[in-house]
């Protein structure tokens, strides 16, 4: 256990921290995953200190070369985070001092652990959101690829889990793709909101040194700097934004997964899962269970719980920094990990779905799915919709009593309920004709579905282009050069 002289704050204290307190407050076991991002931020801070001549060139040379070497070794796995340090920030400074001597103790000039923690976490959040967005695009690609094959495959659309109106399978799949598109917008927004550099805010009141926060932001590839030093070190809205966006994504994955579970039942039979994405029973040899989809449903509960925990964590904290913030890491990390992992599983399951189109089309019978079409037919012939609704209800009752579909009622029987029905009424009552007639924007008609496919393709292509355009922070690109120090100072 480090003595007070070895801690970042040890001068004030005459005795070591009690072992129980030390263990209770130690965050290294989970914040160690921020090491790369903290090293990048430290490189940017050190370079800014050199350029503003806050640090002498001889000291900053040693600091920059030491940090660059540590980053290289961390990224190659040669250097692992561990030891008695209370957090990853302390570990970095201790390791740097061991390598470059007293010059390493100057790195913390014009910086607090408050802005240091915040910038490392923001960099981490943005990187992980990019990974998750890549998964969202991947799942959208699978769904749209399948939809393109089923523009004229029809099945019941449901409300209240009761058959409502006929739709195409493509239209149905594109509804899930649209949910993912909304998720991508939320995740992009969370990424943008996390793009503020807090370096230079210090503990809460900035610093008396002539720093250049904009330079740090530029070196780290962040979009902008802070407006108020007290706000930025006490701000965890970007954590809430990322967690919320991932929770909504998890809810959408849960709804899709629930459909996989439902559709794979013998009672529905709309799909069959490939053996590679199903699992069996320990006692019932015949079982083929959609366990991955079931667990996807369950994972959403974790994401929702984490958002609730983070909101409760933040709700009563006074300005500015409080050590309660330490509790945001594990909840955030779990949410990001869960979202990333869930998307990988969802993509695998989606690819393993075999659609039983014959069963889907057989399900079009028995639900009176074109009752609304009959009402619309009457409206077009001058009947007020509410009256048409009532007349069609009577026709439905007759059809049910006769054990037939609306389109199977003979013309004269149909006219007893719907006197205004035209000679062409049976033509509009077929499910395929009903789908084709629903040619309103965003509807299930094949032409409209093609428009939707093209729009989703454009959106996904734009997202993929944005992800491809994301580059390493300038300070990391400099670090990767062959001559580490010269590149870092260039």
Condensed to tens digits (0 to 9), the pLDDT of residues 81-127 reads 999 999 999 999 999 999 999 999 999 999 999 999 999 999 999 99
CB atoms within 10 A of CB 306: 24
pLDDT confidence of residue 412: 93
Q: Domain locations in the chain?
A: 4-109, 114-363+458-469, 371-429
- Residue owning tokens 């050590």: 323
- Residue 397 three-state SS: helix
For domain 371-429, the CATH class is mainly alpha
281 is catalytic: yes
Determine the average pLDDT of the residues in 2-25: 73
- Give the number of other CB atoms < 10 A from CB of residue 427: 11
On the question of pLDDT at 487 being above 80, the answer is: no
Torsion of CA 49, 53, 57, 63, to 10 degrees: -10
Query: For the residues of 226-271, what is the DSSP string, one character each?
Result: -S-HHHHHT--HHHHHHHHHHHHHHHHHHHHHHHHHHHTSTTT-SE
- Which candidate in 160, 208, 282, 440 is catalytic? 160
pLDDT over threshold 80, residue 482: no
* DSSP of 42-104: HHHHHHHHHHTTSS-HHHHHHHHHHHHHHHHHHHHTSS---SS-SSHHHHHHHHHHHHHGGGG
How far is 27 from 321, CA to CA, in rounded Å?
16
Indicate the pairing of strand 224-225 with strand 196-197: parallel
Annotated catalytic residue 172: no
Q: Which CATH class is domain 114-363+458-469?
A: mainly alpha
DSSP 391: H
| CATH T-level fold of 4-109 | Fumarase C; Chain B, domain 1 (1.10.275)
- The pLDDT of residue 5 is 47
**pTM for this structure?**
0.93
Q: Which of 18, 149, 281, 390 is catalytic?
A: 281
What digits encode the pLDDT tens for the residues 138-195? 999 999 999 999 999 999 999 999 999 999 999 999 999 999 999 999 999 999 999 9
């Amino acid at each position: 256990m480090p003595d007070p002289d070895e801690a970042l704050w040890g001068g004030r204290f005459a005795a070591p921290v009690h072992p129980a307190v030390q263990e209770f407050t130690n965050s290294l076991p989970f914040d160690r995953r921020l090491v790369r991002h903290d090293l990048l931020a430290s490189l940017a801070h050190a370079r800014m200190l050199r350029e503003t001549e806050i640090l002498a060139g001889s000291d900053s040379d040693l600091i920059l070369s030491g940090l660059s070497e540590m980053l290289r070794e961390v990224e190659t796995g040669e250097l692992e985070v561990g030891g008695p340090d209370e957090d990853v920030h302390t570990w970095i400074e201790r390791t740097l001092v061991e390598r470059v001597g007293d010059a390493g103790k100057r790195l913390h000039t014009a910086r607090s652990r408050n802005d240091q923690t915040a910038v490392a976490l923001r960099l981490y959040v943005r990187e992980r959101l990019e990974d998750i967005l890549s998964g969202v695009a991947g799942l959208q690609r699978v769904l749209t690829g399948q939809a393109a094959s089923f523009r004229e495959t029809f099945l019941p659309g449901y409300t209240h889990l009761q058959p409502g109106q006929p739709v195409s399978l493509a239209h149905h799949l594109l509804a899930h793709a649209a949910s993912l598109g909304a998720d991508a917008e939320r995740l992009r927004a969370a990424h943008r909101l996390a793009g503020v550099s807090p370096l230079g805010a210090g503990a809460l009141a900035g610093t008396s040194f002539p720093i250049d926060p904009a330079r740090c932001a530029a070196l780290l590839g962040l979009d902008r700097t802070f407006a108020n030093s007290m706000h930025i070190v006490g701000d965890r809205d970007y954590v809430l934004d990322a967690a919320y966006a991932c929770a909504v994504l998890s809810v959408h994955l849960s709804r899709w997964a629930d459909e996989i579970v439902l559709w794979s039942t013998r009672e529905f039979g709309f799909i069959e899962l490939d053996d590679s994405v199903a699992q069996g029973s320990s006692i019932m040899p015949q079982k083929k269970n959609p366990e991955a989809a079931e667990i996807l449903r369950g994972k959403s509960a974790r994401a929702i719980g984490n958002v609730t925990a983070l909101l409760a964590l933040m709700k009563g904290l006074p300005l500015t920094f409080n050590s309660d913030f330490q509790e945001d890491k594990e909840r955030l990390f779990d949410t990001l990990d869960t979202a990333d992992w869930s998307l990988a599983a969802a993509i695998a399951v989606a690819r393993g779905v075999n659609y039983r189109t014959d069963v889907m089309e057989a399900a079009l019978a028995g639900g009176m799915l074109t009752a609304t079409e009959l009402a619309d037919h009457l409206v077009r012939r001058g009947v007020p919709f509410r009256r048409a609704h009532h007349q069609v209800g009577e026709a439905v009752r007759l059809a049910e009593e006769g054990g037939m579909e609306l389109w199977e009622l003979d013309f004269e029987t149909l006219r007893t309920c719907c006197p205004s029905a035209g000679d062409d009424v049976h033509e509009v009552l077929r499910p395929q004709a009903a789908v084709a007639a629903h040619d309103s924007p965003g509807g299930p008609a094949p032409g409209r579905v093609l428009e939707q496919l093209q729009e989703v393709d454009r959106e996904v292509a734009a997202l993929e282009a944005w992800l491809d355009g994301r580059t390493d922070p300038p300070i990391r690109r400099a670090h990767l050069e062959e001559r580490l120090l010269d590149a870092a100072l260039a």
